[in-house]
Amino acid sequence: MSRYSAFAIAKEAFREHTGWRRTWGNPEPKRRYDAIIIGAGGHGLATAYYLGKNHGIRNVAILEKGWLGGGNTGRNTTIIRSNYLQDPSAAIYEKSRSLYEDLSQDLNYNIMFSPRGVIMLAQTEHEVRGYKRTAHANALQGVATEFIGPERVKELCPIMEIRGPRYPVLGGLWQPRGGTARHDAVAWGYARKCSEMGMDVIQKCEVTGVRSKDGKVAGVSTTRGEIDCDKLGIVVAGHSGVVAEMAGFRLPIESVALQALVSEPIKPCMDVVVMANTVHGYMSQSDKGEMVIGGGADGFNNYTQRGSFHHIEETVRALVETFPIISRLKMLRQWGGIVDMTGDRSPILSKTPLENCFINCGWGTGGFKAIPGSGWGFAELMATGASPLTAEFGLDRFREGRFVDESVAAGVAH
């Protein structure tokens, strides 16, 4: 596959761009693969990529019932941070954040990573204590964060009203190397590299069953035929419980919708990401000038991918007090994504009761920021049977009471 570069662009310009090849292939499924990944979102594609890059496993199929990156990967607010409280969480999210910094060079695909910094606002005394505790924990974990006062918050984000009557800004947890990236470019970059390594990215191929023999995975049944495999990775976000039941086990997760919206584009006015967890809202400005706004997850289980008026109203109403500027903006579009929530708000990266079948799910609303680290650790788990990044996120922790409680650090469950 040709390498993207300034020279390649200039070369193609002279021949009217007729020499570009397909970014990834559109193959028919083979009868058998060494490994199958169900789900061609960011996590699934990253897993396949690191299986090939780090472990030499390249006879791999990534199966997607819809289109590549059409699930939560294309339905999020692109925030990247690693300032989590618990050591296992900080480790995998910081691994992910560090991989994001060089991912464009690694994939030879511009993912538009922008380390603009993330502020998590403290608007109550309880949050002040909680974020100071997290800052101390991050210092021990090697994650660069600091607790800053309201004046510094205002300096970083001048459009913010820090003296709101109900929820004044008392400070914030500041991570300078956090930021955003282009969500679909992350999926496309990984897909391109997987295809380059000879892997099959197969779209419009829904898995309808998981086949086993003597307690060991044997393959999958799909709308495009039977496919055998030695190892199976389930990476389907909000539909994890559905596919897990096909494999004969249940998961301790709930699927709910998370909604977001963007405003009409305006001139640049905000060059950081701000999360206001007390009022359940977060906001950043996209490269196109839109204000990207999100809030908490729905309070009831559902599989909808559409937004609802009452939830958008609640989120915007909460943010207007802290960001008065948005009160006059028009909404451009809204959407919803299906997220899978565990009881401790931490993911599941684990072996399953079915031998050689592995599960990656439970990221809740924080999945995008974890894509490279999740793929790295889950690929290692699938290839070798263990990974230091995933050791604390096994299914057995729910039976044994070893919770990785991130309900505070996750804030708005983000």
Mean pLDDT across 45-66:
97
Task: Kindly report, residue by residue over 359-368, the tens digit of the pLDDT.
Answer: 999 999 889 9
Give the domain CATH number at 132: 3.30.9.10
Task: Kindly report, residue by residue over 260-284, the tens digit of the pLDDT.
Answer: 999 999 999 999 999 998 888 899 9
Q: Predicted confidence band at 303 (pLDDT cuts at 50, 70, 90)? A: confident
**175 and 273 part of one domain:** yes
**263 and 245 part of one domain:** no
Establish if 4 belongs to a structural domain: no
**101 and 247 part of one domain:** yes
Establish if 9 belongs to a structural domain: no
Q: Predicted confidence band at 291 (pLDDT cuts at 50, 70, 90)? A: very high
Please classify residue 199 by burial: count the beta carbons closer than 10 Å to its beta carbon, then call 0-12 exposed, 13-18 middle and 19+ buried: buried
Establish if 110 belongs to a structural domain: no
**308 and 190 part of one domain:** no
- What is the number of helices (H) and of strands (E) in the chain? 11, 18
- pLDDT for 412 equals 46
The residues, any chain, with a CB within 8 Å of residue 179's CB and separated by 6 or more, are: 80, 113, 114, 115, 116, 117, 118, 273
Residues 253, 372: contact at Cβ < 8 Å? no
Domain C-terminal end among 297, 327, 342: 342
**268 and 359 part of one domain:** no
Mean pLDDT across 312-318:
86
Look at residue 85 and tell me whether its pLDDT is greater than 50: yes
Nearest to 176 by CA among 222, 248, 119, 101: 119
Establish if 319 belongs to a structural domain: yes
Quote the domain boundaries for residue 168: 118-180+255-342
Mean pLDDT across 62-75:
93
Task: Kindly report, residue by residue over 142-152, the tens digit of the pLDDT.
Answer: 999 999 999 99
More confident residue, 412 or 347: 347
Mean per-residue pLDDT over the chain, rounded: 93
Mean pLDDT across 110-120:
96
Residues 198, 58: contact at Cβ < 8 Å? yes
User: Across-strand partners of 259?
Assistant: 336
**88 and 53 part of one domain:** yes
Q: Predicted confidence band at 1 (pLDDT cuts at 50, 70, 90)? A: low
Domain C-terminal end among 323, 342, 361: 342
**277 and 302 part of one domain:** yes
The C-alpha atoms of residue 374 and residue 367 are separated, in whole angstroms, by: 9
Residue 331: what residue type? M
- pLDDT for 7 equals 87
Task: Kindly report, residue by residue over 206-231, the tens digit of the pLDDT.
Answer: 999 999 999 999 999 999 999 999 99
**168 and 193 part of one domain:** no
pTM for this predicted structure = 0.94
**88 and 57 part of one domain:** yes
Give the domain CATH number at 28: 3.50.50.60
Look at residue 414 and tell me whether its pLDDT is greater than 60: no
Establish if 16 belongs to a structural domain: no
**319 and 187 part of one domain:** no
**338 and 384 part of one domain:** no
Place of tokens 């400005």: 285
**147 and 272 part of one domain:** yes
Q: Comparing 10-14, 325-329, 347-351, which segment has the lowest mean pLDDT?
A: 10-14
User: From the CA atom positions of the chain, what is the Rg in Å?
Assistant: 21
Establish if 272 belongs to a structural domain: yes
Neighbours of 24 (CB within 10 A): 23
Please classify residue 293 by burial: count the beta carbons closer than 10 Å to its beta carbon, then call 0-12 exposed, 13-18 middle and 19+ buried: buried
Look at residue 410 and tell me whether its pLDDT is greater than 60: no
- pLDDT for 411 equals 45
Establish if 318 belongs to a structural domain: yes
Look at residue 8 and tell me whether its pLDDT is greater than 80: yes
Q: How many domains does the chain have?
A: 2
Q: For residues 134-144, b (16+ Cβ closer than 10 Å) or e, as one string?
A: bbebbeebebb
